Amino acid sequence: MFRTTRAIISCLRTVSTVAAYDKGRKWQPALRFLGCSVVGTGTALYFFSHQVKASSHEFMAEPVTDMSKANKDDMRVKMELMIMKIQADFCHALEAEDSAKFCVDRWLREEGGGGVTCVLQNGAIFEKAGIGVSVVHGVLPPAAVQQMRARGRKMKGDKLPFFAAGVSSVIHPRNPLIPTVHFNYRYFEVTEEDGTKTWWFGGGTDLTPYYLNENDAKHFHSTLKEACDKHDKSYYGKFKKWCDDYFDITHRGERRGIGGIFFDDLDSPDQD
């Protein structure tokens, strides 16, 4: 099982546990949705790490890539199938708790690739929820290459082929006692002019409560720390600070919500 992606999914599990401190039985179904979805996600990740197959009925729409011609050992394919399954697991879990259904939009990008956007709105439990997958490729313009070099990426060439795949979500429950949750996880790959491939992972997750519950905040962060510590004990402190700085609202002198974790340019120890 690829280690970097395991760390990402471990962090995703955290958002399911905040419900443990809610006292209102009426809203317990709304809080269960993330926990329900993680079971399927964990199973999918184990499956993909051993053998990757494309089964379109498991997803909300057909994958962007033609899986009949895809190399199932390619990290690009593994990532696409994994995020498609994560999207489907979350959508099915939310639909199981709400009377509303997701509207599914499968779109294509003229420059290369495409994605699947799923939106649920005006439900009994969820005011609005969006879960999007994007799988895109093309050529990086020189300005983008220079920006990456400024971040420490020593890439050869000017117009370089790239690939990016990610899953992102923002979920707004109706109950103001339940926080808004956001997550985004992505994989980026660039092919240099000599054929060398440079890759990295990025993303994070955070909560924005309307009414602060200190137990929720402590539980959320302790679970994130536990997930990060399984892979590198330096991750949590570094990723938490990164998240705090990333979501800093300077003119207000505050940060968004209770934070979480954020990371980018994660390329070690290896893809697996």
Q: Provide the annotated active-site residues.
A: 182
Helices (H), 116-162: 142-150
CA–CA gap between residue 160 and residue 143 (Å, rounded): 11
| Cα-based distances in Å from 174 to 6, 18, 142, 178 | 31, 16, 44, 8
Burial 11-29 (b: 16+ CB within 10 A, else e): bbbbbbbbbeebeeeebee
Helix (H, G, I), strand (E, B) or coil at 124: coil
CA–CA gap between residue 71 and residue 48 (Å, rounded): 13
Find tokens 């593994």 and name the residue: 78
